[in-house]
Amino acid sequence: MPNRQPTLVSQNISKAYSSGHITHQVIKDSSLKIYPAELTLVVGPSGSGKSTMLAMLSGLLRPDAGQVHALDTDLWTLDDQSIDLFRLQHCGFIFQGFNLFGALTALENVILPLQYLHQHGNTARQRARDALAEVGLAERMHLRPMQLSGGEKQRVAIARALVKNPRLMFADEPTSALDGANGQIVIDLLKRIAREHNATVLGVTHDPRLFSHADRVITLEDGIVVSDKHRSTFHAPIGDYVEHPHD
């Protein structure tokens, strides 16, 4: 385990969903420590609780029990407005569906988070340009999403997350809509951001192509962590779930 302090810690978090008289326990009494300067992936079959875990760790979904400490903040003791502010100031998010505004150029999409932080004018535009240049889109920043490929759209989304220089970055299935070549570009970017920005980058995926690129792979099954491997211990395919035909 890295010899440094974790930036994200969960303690005995649980989450269940109810439908009528039926309750489904999605996450069961989970505790994790996530470290900076690493790309950490949570993997597992469909329905294993990956996205629910990510949502609770990132301040998007309140756990039924347990604690999440993010940057030494006891996240779920905050009120909703304070959690929103914490995410705005410290977190970047990357989603499977890109979530770009079609009427805006790539540059304008990346500037948006800075405007919410009351940063405007030339300073904001330059920061957005720098972020787009870092993901290799300096020559494409004037284009709208419909003029970009899927891989380019995801790189715009990464630039939008990166422009605030967040200490925490969360990626939910960031490559599932991409082909192999573009998926490789995206995962390499996330890994480089972790290293060069000393960011804590936590992603969830069911894409086995990504496992070998991660610094750490945490495997979930039925809401329980069944495996937690750091790169130094990678000797074989991570986890058992790749054998499950339904994933």
Calpha distance 163→111 (Å, rounded): 8
Q: Of 163, 155, 169, nearest to 131 (Cα)?
A: 163
Residue carrying structure tokens 């905050």: 78
Is 181 a member of any domain?
Answer: yes
pLDDT reported for residue 204? 93
Q: Find the CATH number of the domain harbouring 32.
A: 3.40.50.300
Is 2 a member of any domain? no
Residue type, 241: Y
What pLDDT is attached to residue 84? 94
Count Cβ atoms below 10 Å from residue 88 Cβ, excluding itself: 13
Give dist(CA 12, CA 222) in Å, integer: 15
Query: What does each of the 247 residues of the chain score in pLDDT, given as a tens digit?
Result: 445 799 999 999 999 998 888 888 999 999 999 999 999 999 988 888 999 999 999 999 999 999 999 999 999 999 999 999 999 999 999 988 889 999 999 999 999 999 999 999 999 999 999 999 999 999 999 999 999 999 999 999 999 999 999 999 999 999 988 888 898 899 999 999 999 999 999 999 988 878 888 999 999 998 999 999 987 655 444 444 333 333 3
Nearest Cα to Cα of residue 45 among 231, 235, 226, 234: 226
pLDDT score, position 238: 42
Helix (H) or strand (E) segment spanning residue 24:
strand 22-34
Q: How far apart are the first and last CA of the chain?
A: 29
With CA atoms as reference, report the closest residue to 95 among 55, 137, 35.
55
Q: Provide the residue range defining the domain that includes 187.
A: 8-241
Degrees to nearest 5, angle at CA 161 with 228 and 202: 5
Residue 205: count of CB within 10 angstroms of its CB: 24
Alpha helices in the chain (DSSP H): 50-57, 80-90, 106-116, 121-134, 150-162, 180-196
The verdict on residue 167 lying in a domain is yes
Q: Is residue 60 part of a domain?
A: yes
Q: Quote the pLDDT of residue 160.
A: 97
Domains held by the chain: number:
1
Give the contacts of 123 (CB within 8 A, at least 6 positions apart).
none
Q: What is the phi/psi pair of residue 135, to 5°? A: -95, 10
Residue 157, domain member (yes or no): yes
Q: Does residue 47 lie in a domain region?
A: yes
SS3 95: strand
Task: Assess if residue 247 is contained within a domain.
Answer: no
Contact 204, 54 (CB under 8 A): yes
Does 72 map to a domain? yes
Structure tokens at 61: 């979904």
- Measure the CA angle with vertex 196, ends 192 and 199; round to 5°: 85
